[in-house]
Structure 1
Amino acid sequence: MQTSLLHELVVGTPVISATFDQPQKSVNRYLPGPATQCQYSTTTSKQMRLRTNISETVKRKLSLGARILRVGGVEKVFKQFFNVEEGERLLKVSQSYLSTTSGPLAGFLFISTDKVAFCSERSMKVFTRKGHMLRIRYKVVIPLNKIKCVNQSQNVQKPTQKYIEIVTEDNFDFWFMGVLKYQKTFKYLEQALSQA
């Protein structure tokens, strides 16, 4: 796949970012605002909403369980989807959504001793410049040493809607929402960052 095609498949939203005084500092932030700084903001958002269709959620969870059993566990799923360095350990896997320019994308959030990674639950169709169709999974890999900061956020109007924002050194802003076991996942993320 050519670089230009990969560039067209946006894996995050680039933002203009100011210099961060305290990298990897976890603070509360409210949506939406691009990450101009890792600091507290009081804006709200109606942009990122998750559909709460019970039957869709049940089907997805059953599909997830079947996939994990078929491959042989979450560790093997992680190794199948991503390059794993020697000595790298998987700390936490959570179902979540990644905010994209096309809307929330369901998938898995992986936190390891080396990286934060996301992989979509389902593959999607993309076309090469020559018109050939490919089926790929939407993936994001963020090395821990490239993360400037992480933020916990919530929708002010609906405090149960919580978000994790990851801001990278190259001025990309990633929003994860609908994270299963949100507090526990955020703790593992902080632990991984503190040991990186």
Structure 2
Amino acid sequence: MQASLLQELVVGTPTISTTYDQLQKSVNRYLPGPASQCQYSATTSKQVKLGAKISETVKRKLSLGARILRLGGVEKVFKQFFSVEEEERLLKVSQCYLSTTSGPLAGFLFISTDKVAFCSERSMKVFTQKGHMLRIRYKVVIPLKKIKCVNQSKNVLKPTQKYIEIVTVDNFDFWFMGVFKYQKTFKYLEQAVSQA
């Protein structure tokens, strides 16, 4: 029973059931400072290594693909990890890394007609107040209505390192890097936000 209560991990905070507005008070300690203005940026202050060995990355991607096939495809994975409205449609799924205070976290970026969501590729260890260890996935859910803008960014020293920044109406920003099919993903993201 206790494991089912902590199945959701939103913005680094285990939650049972909470609204977006209620979550804002607890989120502040997990996010970087207020976001920059909504405009295209050609630089970034941090350089992040995305992986140690190519063989490790390939092995992880193959095992992840096998898991997705076992579950019945990305649509079913999306519905398994996030609450989905009846009319909500999944538009695009892309592998990427989410920038966190602990470093980049590999996972999937889901873009739907209702939200942008991220789910980590691997589960994480979390301890309950009683000291029991649980394994849960790191998840982020951003309703499209709460997104102020999306920006493209790249590292000036390494232009192939491109980033997508999502800025919320309350001036928090989320950075996604190593986005598979970067331009296509950004296009879907812009389109979803403009139609919200």
Structure 2 Cα separation of the partners of residues 138 and 110 of structure 1: 14
Matched, 1:39 2:57: no
Evaluate the alpha carbon distance shift between residue 39 and residue 135 of structure 1 in structure 2; reply closer, same or farther with a 3 A threshold: same
2:87 equivalent in structure 1: 87
Q: CA deviation at 1:76?
A: 0.2
Measured in 1, the distance between the counterparts of 2:27 and 2:108 equals 19
- Which residues in structure 2 correspond to 1:157-176 (within 5 Å)? 157-176=157-176
Matching residue of 1:129: 129
* Residues 9-88 of structure 1 aligned to structure 2 (within 5 Å): 13-16=31-34, 35-41=35-41, 43-51=43-51, 53-88=53-88
Aligned length in residues: 178
Alpha-carbon distance in structure 1 between the residues aligned to 2:190 and 2:40: 18
Greater displacement, 127-136 / 103-112? 127-136
CA RMSD of aligned residues (A): 2.4
Native 8 Å contact 1:12 1:174 kept in 2: no
Give 4+ residue runs of structure 1 displaced > 6 Å after superposition.
7-11
Please say if residues 44 and 157 of structure 1, whose CA atoms lie closer than 8 Å, have aligned partners that are also in contact: no
Instruction: State the alpha-carbon separation in 2 of the partners of residues 95 and 11 from structure 1.
Output: 26
Contact 1:11 1:139 in 2 (8 A): no
Residue-by-residue CA offset, 1:82-138 (whole Å, 9 max, x unaligned): 000011000000000000000000000000000000000000101122211111000
Identity over aligned pairs, percent = 82
In structure 1, distance between residues paired with 2:42 and 2:169: 24
Aligned mates of 1:53, 1:124 — CA distance in 2: 21
Give, as a single letter, the amino acid of the residue that structure 1 aligns with 2:113.
T
| Cα deviations by residue, 1:143-180 (Å, 9 ceiling, x for unpaired) | 00000111000000000000000011122210000000
Q: Once the 2 structures are TM-superposed, how far is the Cα of residue 52 of structure 1 from its aligned partner?
A: 5.1
Secondary structure (helix, strand or coil) at the match of 1:77 reads helix
Q: Which runs of 5+ in 2 are unaligned?
A: 15-22
Residue number in structure 2 paired with 1:109: 109
Assess if the C-alpha contact under 8 Å between 1:14 and 1:171 holds in 2: no
SS of aligned partner of 1:176: strand
1:15–1:36 contact (8 Å) kept in structure 2: no
Maintained 8 Å contact 2:89/2:112: yes
Partner-residue secondary structure (3-state), 2:60: helix
Amino acid in structure 1 at the alignment position of 2:175: W
What's the TM-score, normalizing by structure 2?
Answer: 0.83
Contact 1:144 1:192 in 2 (8 A): yes
Give the equivalent residue in structure 1 for 2:18.
Answer: none
